[in-house]
C-alpha cells in the first residue's frame, strides 16, 4: 500500500479516536481532515474549501432545515403535542395495550410534524410514561414503545435524515420523502402488531383503562376535543406532506408553508406569545446551525479523504468480498448496524454512506431503494443499547423507579422488528420504490 | 451521544490573577450571546420572506429573483453566526459514552483539546477564504441570474467573519477549560498533601 493509503486509514482511525474521546463531531471531522490532509498532500486541495463551504451555507435546498426545525419546535414548544397525547390516550383506552398503540400513533404524527427524534422521545417519555406506569403497564414494554415510536420521526417525512441523505446520495428530497412513507408506516404497523401479540402473551403487562373512567368522559365531549386538539396539527402535516408528494410545491417551499402554518396553529390555540416565538427562533437557529456546521466540517474530511485516494481503499475492500452486489449490500447493512452501536446517524450518513456509494452506483443499484435500506437500518442506531440516542433521551426523563435495564430490555424486541423491516424492504423493493414511481418523481 | 452541558458554566473560585481572564471570558460570552440572539431573528425572517414569496408566486404568479436569492442569502448568516451560538450553549453533538464518565479533570482536558482544535480549524478556514472573498470583491461578482442580488463578496465575507467569531468563542472556552484543568489539578495536589 502507498503512503497515502496508509494516511487514509490513519484519517479514519484518528477521526474515530477523537470521536470516541468526546470531541464534538464537527471538530473531529475537520481536525482529522486537516491533520492527515496536510501530511498527505499539503495545502493544494484545501484551496477548494471556501467554495465548498459557500456551497453549504448559500444553498436553497438547505433552507428546508431551518424551516422544518422551526415548524417542529413551534409545535412542540406550544405544548399542542401534550393535548394530542391526552386525547389519544382516552381514545385508545378501551383496548388491551391500547395506550401503547396510541403511543405508536402519536409517534407517527409527531414524526411527521417534527422529524426531530430527541424532541419526540423526550415529549413522549415525559408525558406518557408516568401515565402508563400509573395504569399498571410493565416498564419494559412502555419504554420500548416510547423509544421505538419516538424514532419513527427519522424515517417518516419530513425528516432531517432524509434531507441529508438526499444530498449525500444526489437524489431529490421529494423522491426520498415519497419513498419513505411506506417503509415508515410498515415499521409502525410492525410495532403495533408486536404490541397486540405481547398483549395476548402477557395480558397483565398492559391493562386497559378502567371502564368507569372512560364512561366519565362523554363520547360527544371526547370527539369535540379530538377535533379541537388533533385536527389543526394533523391538517398542517397532511397539507405540507401532501403538497410535496403531489409535486405541487418543492420541499423547501412546502416547508415554509409548514413553518407559517405552525405559527397560525399555535396562534389559534392562543398559545402564541413573544416568549414562545423567541424561544422557538433561538432553538431553531442553534439546531439548524449545529447540523450545517457538521456539514461544513464534513467538507474538510471529504477533501482529505479524496486527496488521499480513500475511495480506492474502499473499492479494494469490497473486491475482497465474495458473492456479488447483494453481498455488498448486506455488508454495508451489517456495517451500519454495528456502527450504530457506537455512532449516531449523522456520523454514519457522512462517513460510511459516501465511502460506499460509488461502488453501488457503479453496480447500478437503485439509489432510492438503497437509501430506504440505509434509513430503516439507521433507525437501529437510535435504539441499540448501550449507546442509542433515544435511550439516553428517555433515560434523562424517566421517573426514578425505571432502571436502565428496563429500557434496554424493553427496546430489544423493537430492534428485532427493525431488522425485520430491513429484510422486508430488501425482499420487496416495491415498498420503497412504488410510491415515488406512482406519483412520477 | 448528546449535547454537552453549557461549556462555560460557573468558573471555579479564582485567585486575583485569574480574575481578569475570567472577566474577559465572560465578556466574550456575553457578546456571543447577543450575536446569537440577534441572528436567531433571521430564522423568523426566512420563514416570513419565504412564505410570502411562495404565497405570492402560487396565488398571484408574482415572483422575483431577488426575493428567492435573499432567502438563501439569509441562510449563510443564520448558520455562520448560529454555529457559535450553538457552541456557547454547548449544543454541538458529541459521543459522550466515555465523556460522561470522565472526572471533571478529564472533561476539562477534552474540552481544552476540542477548543484548541476549533481555533486552529477556524484559523485555517479564515486563511483559505480570504483569497476567495478577495477574488469575488476584485471582479465585483454578482448573481448570474438577471435581477439577482449584487455584492456577492459581502455574502462570501461572512465565512471568515463567522469563523472569526467562532474562534473567539472557542478561545474563551479554551481559557475556561484551562482554568478548570489547573484548578482541579491543584485540588488533587492539595488532597494528596493532606
pLDDT of residue B6: 46
Candidate from B78, B95, B131 with C-beta closest to A289: B78
ipTM comes to: 0.88
A·B CB contacts under 8 A: 198
CA distances for B145 relative to A350, B50, B73, B136, B142, angstroms: 32, 19, 14, 16, 9
Candidate from B43, B68, B110 with C-beta closest to A66: B43
pLDDT of residue B190: 45
pLDDT of residue A37: 93
**Does pLDDT of A47 surpass 80?**
yes
* Average pLDDT in chain A: 82
More confident site: B157 or B57: B157
Candidate from B98, B128, B131 with C-beta closest to A21: B98
Quote the minimal CA–CA distance from A192 to chain B in Å. 28
Confidence tier at B66 by pLDDT (50, 70, 90): confident
**Does pLDDT of B194 surpass 50?**
no
More confident site: A53 or B142: A53
Confidence tier at A390 by pLDDT (50, 70, 90): confident
Nearest to A198 by CA among A422, A410, A379: A410
Give percent of chain A with pLDDT exceeding 90: 22
Give the DSSP per-residue string, A323-372: SHHHHHHHHHHHHHHHHHHHS-HHHHHHTHHHHHHHHHHHTT--HHHHHH
Nearest to A53 by CA among A251, A303, A348: A303
| Interface mutation vs chain A, best among B33, B48, B83, B164, most A CBs within 10 Å | B83
Nearest to B162 by CA among B52, B86, B102: B86
More confident site: A422 or A347: A422
pLDDT of residue A344: 65
pLDDT of residue B3: 43
Q: Which residue of B has its CA nearest to A391?
A: B1
pLDDT of residue A183: 94
Confidence tier at A81 by pLDDT (50, 70, 90): low
Per CB-CB distance under 8 Å, the chain B contacts of A288 are 43, 78-79, 82
Confidence tier at A106 by pLDDT (50, 70, 90): confident
* Average pLDDT in chain B: 85
**Does pLDDT of B4 surpass 50?**
no
pTM of the complete model = 0.79
Q: Which residue of B has its CA nearest to A16?
A: B95
Confidence tier at A105 by pLDDT (50, 70, 90): confident
Per CB-CB distance under 8 Å, the chain A contacts of B2 are 389, 392-393
Give the DSSP per-residue string, B93-121: EE--TTGGGS-HHHHHHHHHHHHHHHHHH
**Does pLDDT of A341 surpass 50?**
yes
Confidence tier at A307 by pLDDT (50, 70, 90): confident
Confidence tier at B16 by pLDDT (50, 70, 90): low
**Chain segment A17-43, per-residue pLDDT in tens:** 998 888 988 899 899 999 999 999 888
**Does pLDDT of A386 surpass 70?**
no
Quote the minimal CA–CA distance from A378 to chain B in Å. 15
**Any idea which of A92-96, B6-10, B34-38 has the lowest mean pLDDT?**
B6-10
More confident site: A342 or A73: A73
**Does pLDDT of A201 surpass 60?**
yes
Confidence tier at A255 by pLDDT (50, 70, 90): confident
In angstroms, rounded to a whole number, what is the distance separating the alpha carbons of residues A176 and A163?
8
Quote the minimal CA–CA distance from A23 to chain B in Å. 6
Per CB-CB distance under 8 Å, the chain A contacts of B159 are 50, 53-54, 57
Per CB-CB distance under 8 Å, the chain A contacts of B132 are 50-51, 54
C-beta atoms of A50 and B121 within 8 A: no
Amino acid at each position: 500500500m502507498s503512503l497515502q493509503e496508509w494516511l487514509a486509514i490513519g484519517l479514519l482511525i484518528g477521526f474515530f479516536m477523537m470521536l470516541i474521546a468526546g470531541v464534538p463531531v464537527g471538530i473531529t471531522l475537520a481536525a482529522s481532515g486537516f491533520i492527515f490532509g496536510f501530511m498527505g498532500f499539503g495545502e493544494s486541495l484545501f484551496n477548494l474549501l471556501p467554495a465548498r463551504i459557500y456551497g453549504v451555507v448559500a444553498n436553497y435546498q438547505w433552507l428546508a432545515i431551518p424551516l422544518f426545525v422551526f415548524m417542529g419546535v413551534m409545535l412542540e414548544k406550544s405544548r399542542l403535542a401534550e393535548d394530542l397525547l391526552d386525547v389519544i390516550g382516552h381514545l385508545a383506552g378501551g383496548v388491551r395495550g391500547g395506550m401503547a398503540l396510541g403511543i405508536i400513533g402519536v409517534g407517527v404524527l409527531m414524526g411527521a410534524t417534527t422529524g426531530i427524534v430527541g424532541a419526540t422521545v423526550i415529549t413522549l417519555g415525559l408525558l406518557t410514561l408516568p401515565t402508563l406506569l400509573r395504569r399498571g403497564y410493565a416498564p419494559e414494554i412502555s419504554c420500548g414503545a416510547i423509544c421505538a415510536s419516538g424514532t419513527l420521526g427519522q424515517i417518516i417525512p419530513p425528516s432531517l435524515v432524509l434531507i441529508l441523505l438526499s444530498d449525500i446520495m444526489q437524489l431529490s428530497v421529494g423522491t426520498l420523502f415519497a419513498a419513505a412513507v411506506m417503509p415508515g408506516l410498515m415499521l409502525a404497523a410492525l410495532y403495533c402488531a408486536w404490541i397486540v401479540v405481547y398483549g395476548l402473551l402477557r395480558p397483565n403487562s398492559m391493562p386497559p383503562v378502567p371502564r368507569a373512567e372512560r364512561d366519565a368522559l362523554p363520547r360527544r365531549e371526547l370527539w369535540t376535543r379530538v377535533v379541537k386538539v388533533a385536527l389543526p396539527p394533523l391538517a398542517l402535516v397532511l397539507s405540507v406532506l401532501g403538497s410535496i408528494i403531489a409535486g405541487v410545491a418543492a420541499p423547501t417551499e412546502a416547508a415554509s408553508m409548514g413553518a407559517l402554518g405552525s405559527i397560525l396553529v399555535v396562534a389559534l390555540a392562543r398559545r402564541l406569545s413573544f416568549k414562545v416565538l423567541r424561544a422557538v427562533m433561538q432553538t431553531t437557529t442553534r439546531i439548524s446551525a449545529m447540523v450545517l456546521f457538521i456539514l461544513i466540517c464534513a467538507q474538510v474530511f471529504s477533501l482529505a479523504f479524496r486527496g488521499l485516494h480513500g475511495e480506492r481503499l474502499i473499492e479494494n475492500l469490497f473486491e475482497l468480498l465474495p458473492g456479488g452486489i447483494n453481498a455488498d449490500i448486506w455488508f454495508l447493512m451489517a456495517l451500519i448496524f454495528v456502527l450504530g452501536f457506537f455512532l449516531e446517524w449523522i456520523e454514519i450518513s457522512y462517513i460510511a454512506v459516501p465511502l460506499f456509494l460509488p461502488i453501488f452506483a457503479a453496480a447500478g443499484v437503485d439509489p432510492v431503494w438503497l437509501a430506504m435500506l440505509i434509513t430503516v437500518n439507521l433507525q437501529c442506531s437510535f435504539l441499540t443499547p448501550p449507546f442509542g440516542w433515544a435511550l439516553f433521551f428517555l433515560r434523562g426523563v424517566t421517573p426514578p423507579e425505571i432502571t436502565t435495564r428496563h429500557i434496554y430490555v424493553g427496546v430489544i424486541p423493537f430492534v428485532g422488528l427493525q431488522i425485520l423491516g430491513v429484510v422486508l424492504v430488501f425482499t420487496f423493493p416495491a415498498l420503497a420504490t412504488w410510491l415515488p414511481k406512482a406519483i412520477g418523481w | 451521544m448528546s449535547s454537552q452541558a453549557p461549556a462555560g458554566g460557573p468558573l471555579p473560585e479564582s485567585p486575583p490573577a485569574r480574575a481578569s481572564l475570567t472577566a474577559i471570558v465572560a465578556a466574550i460570552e456575553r457578546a456571543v450571546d447577543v450575536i446569537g440572539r440577534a441572528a436567531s431573528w433571521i430564522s423568523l425572517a426566512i420563514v416570513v420572506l419565504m412564505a410570502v414569496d411562495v404565497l405570492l408566486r402560487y396565488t398571484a404568479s408574482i415572483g422575483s429573483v431577488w426575493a428567492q436569492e435573499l432567502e438563501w442569502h439569509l441562510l449563510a448568516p443564520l448558520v455562520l453566526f448560529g454555529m457559535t451560538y450553538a457552541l456557547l450553549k454547548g449544543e454541538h453533538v458529541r459521543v459522550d459514552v466515555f465523556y460522561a464518565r470522565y472526572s471533571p479533570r478529564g472533561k476539562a482536558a477534552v474540552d481544552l483539546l476540542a477548543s484548541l482544535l476549533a481555533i486552529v480549524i477556524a484559523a485555517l478556514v479564515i486563511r483559505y477564504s480570504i483569497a476567495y472573498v478577495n477574488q469575488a470583491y476584485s471582479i465585483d461578482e454578482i448573481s448570474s441570474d438577471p435581477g439577482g442580488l449584487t455584492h456577492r463578496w459581502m455574502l462570501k465575507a461572512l465565512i471568515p467573519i463567522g469563523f472569526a467569531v467562532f474562534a473567539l468563542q472557542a478561545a474563551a472556552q479554551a481559557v475556561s477549560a484551562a482554568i478548570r484543568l489547573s484548578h482541579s489539578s491543584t485540588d488533587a495536589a492539595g488532597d494528596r498533601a493532606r
